[in-house]
């Protein structure tokens, strides 16, 4: 099963911290749980999406281009680059071939996929599951 691009982007943004995502006290989870309440809210996830956008938008133009997406993918480990072209560009609401921050953050599919119990937050267990799917933790 290929991970969805939002999950791949999550892995890229967290980098080494994701490898430690074994619970609420792990650096990866703690980095996202900004308010320290033991759960990652949709708002905290959106902050991650904003940070990911800034990392991908290397020319600071306020838009992400295909070239910037490819450059970001090239930095991912082999085997984690995945497909997902259709999912990426489905976010391009005005079909101009660029993603704005508003377009990039309008959808929270990665969060929705990880929130297995649909309670609106990611628990440490849900976060760990995502890390396992991405192959960052031993099974």
Contact 32, 40 (CB under 8 A): yes
**How high does pLDDT run on average in the chain?**
79
Residue 102: pLDDT above 90?
Answer: yes
Length of the chain: 139
Please answer whether residues 131 and 18 qualify as being in contact, where contact means their C-beta atoms are separated by less than 8 angstroms.
yes
The answer to whether 8 and 109 have CB atoms below 8 angstroms apart is no
In angstroms, the CA 54 to CA 60 distance is 7
Q: What is the pLDDT of residues 8-21, one digit of tens each?
A: 555 555 554 444 43
Nearest to 122 by CA among 51, 21, 52: 21
Selection from 108, 138, 134, 131 nearest residue 21 by Cα: 131
As given in the structure block, the two tokens for residue 1 are 């099963």
pTM over 0.85: no
pLDDT of res. 39: 95
SS3 for 35-102, per residue? CCCCCEEHHHHHHHHHHHHHHHCCCCCCEECHHHHHHHHHCCCCCCCCCCHHHHHHCCCCCCCCEEHH
Residue 38, pLDDT > 90, answer yes
């Amino acid at each position: 099963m290929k991970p969805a691009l939002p999950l791949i982007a999550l892995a890229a943004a967290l980098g080494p911290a994701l490898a430690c995502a074994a619970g609420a006290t792990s650096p990866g989870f703690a980095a996202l749980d900004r308010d320290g309440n033991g759960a990652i809210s949709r708002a905290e996830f959106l902050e991650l999406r904003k940070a990911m956008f800034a990392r991908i938008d290397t020319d600071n133009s306020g838009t992400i281009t295909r070239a910037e997406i490819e450059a970001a993918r090239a930095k991912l480990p082999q085997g984690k680059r995945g497909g997902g072209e259709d999912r990426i560009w489905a976010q391009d609401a005005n079909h101009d071939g660029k993603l704005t921050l508003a377009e990039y953050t309008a959808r929270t599919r990665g969060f929705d996929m990880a929130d297995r119990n649909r309670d609106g937050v990611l628990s440490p267990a849900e976060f760990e599951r995502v890390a396992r799917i991405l192959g960052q933790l031993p099974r």
